[in-house]
């Protein structure tokens, strides 16, 4: 199965597509997920997706499978940096939905720690 989430390895000169941004290929277009905003009141709102226009799509189509431009945006390695007041968890950029799921999993297991 083809992975449809890839991390950009170089800046592109259009669409605010900078190195490390994760593009999601869906329905013959490319999108950048904006994630969710969570409020202290308990609510949340979706920040939507930025969709590439037709010209941008043509260029991305040409380089999508080129390993010089894109790599699969999987979580492969995590650096954990403990400090007395915080723990920093650092990893290569992945899709914001995957990050949110990861964070929810950490929050879920906190009572067990």
For residue 58, pLDDT over 60 is answered with: yes
Weakest mean pLDDT among 9-23, 26-40, 97-111: 26-40
pLDDT of residue 1: 43
97 burial level (CB within 10 Å; 0-12, 13-18, 19+): middle
- Please determine, for residue 40, whether its predicted confidence score (pLDDT) is greater than 80: no
Phi, psi torsion values for 12, nearest 5 degrees: -110, 145
Q: Give the residue, 28 or 87, on which the prediction is more confident.
A: 87
Q: In this structure, how many other beta carbons lie within 10 angstroms of the beta carbon of residue 23?
A: 25
Enter the DSSP assignment of 103: H
């Amino acid at each position: 199965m083809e992975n449809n989430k890839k991390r950009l390895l170089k800046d592109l000169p259009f669409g605010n597509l900078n190195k490390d941004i994760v593009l999601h290929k869906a329905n013959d277009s490319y999108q950048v997920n904006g994630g969710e905003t969570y409020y202290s009141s308990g609510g949340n709102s979706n920040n939507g997706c930025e969709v590439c226009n037709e010209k941008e799509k043509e260029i991305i189509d040409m380089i999508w499978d080129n390993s010089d431009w894109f790599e699969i945006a999987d979580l492969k390695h995590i650096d954990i940096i403990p400090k007395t007041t915080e723990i920093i968890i650092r990893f290569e950029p992945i899709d914001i939905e995957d990050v949110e799921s990861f964070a929810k999993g950490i929050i879920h297991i906190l009572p067990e720690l």
